[in-house]
A and B are shown apart, each in its own frame.
Chain A
Amino acid sequence: SQQGEEDPQALSIQEGENATMNCSYKTSINNLQWYRQNSGRGLVHLILIRSNEREKHSGRLRVTLDTSKKSSSLLITASRAADTASYFCATIVLGGTSYGKLTFGQGTILTVHP
């Protein structure tokens, strides 16, 4: 099973609105990362938040991390049609034989209508 689970699976909004995606994970993490993928293309790293951080900003992106609830959220403000893509959270497994394994959730498909 996947380490990270995104919610919702799909999100459809109008340009200018904010988009919020959530991610839950199962085991202890060192950091949590968010990636974006345009259809059929490679993933692009958006932001990394460490386990001792609670919030991080990058341009129109805001990421929060709640390690007590094992969850994170990605907020895209003032969305644009160009933000249409799939968004994935990713975590790295610590410990055991899979140390360093970077695993992804199933992703949220975001559609921003002009």
Chain B
Amino acid sequence: DSGVTQTPKHLITATGQRVTLRCSPRSGDLSVYWYQQSLDQGLQFLIQYYNGEERAKGNILERFSAQQFPDLHSELNLSSLELGDSALYFCASSVAGVNTEAFFGQGTRLTVV
């Protein structure tokens, strides 16, 4: 158990809908990362937050948004869902970010039908 909790584990939704994925980092970790993993694109970095502030942004679509709350949990919002958004979404956390390892949650498997 990495200490990072992601909910829900599985999500099936229709095209055009909006979903929210939740991540609770390990106790004491200030940095949260979001990744999308699909078979054809590999593990894609989406966005990173550090202590509530956005730190780095990757190939995150405009239909996607995220935030980190004062209690350090984070949410990834995916809207106007398309079939191609079906993927595993991982959250990871680390103490600081640069010189430390990241701990991954078990992921949320999103299926858009």
Contacts and interface: CB of A to CB of B under 8 A. Distances in A.
Nearest to B102: A102
A100 B90 CA distance: 17
Contacts of B31: 100
Interface in A41-57: 41-45, 48, 50
A104 B68 CA distance: 22
Interface band, chain B: 20 to 34
Interface in B1-38: 2, 4, 31, 33, 35
Given A42-B106, A107-B43, A100 B55 contact: yes
Contacts, number: 74
Nearest to B103: A45
Range, interface on chain A: 20 to 34
A98 B101 CA distance: 18
Interface in A78-105: 88, 90, 92-94, 97-105
A98 to B, nearest CB: 5
A59 interface: no
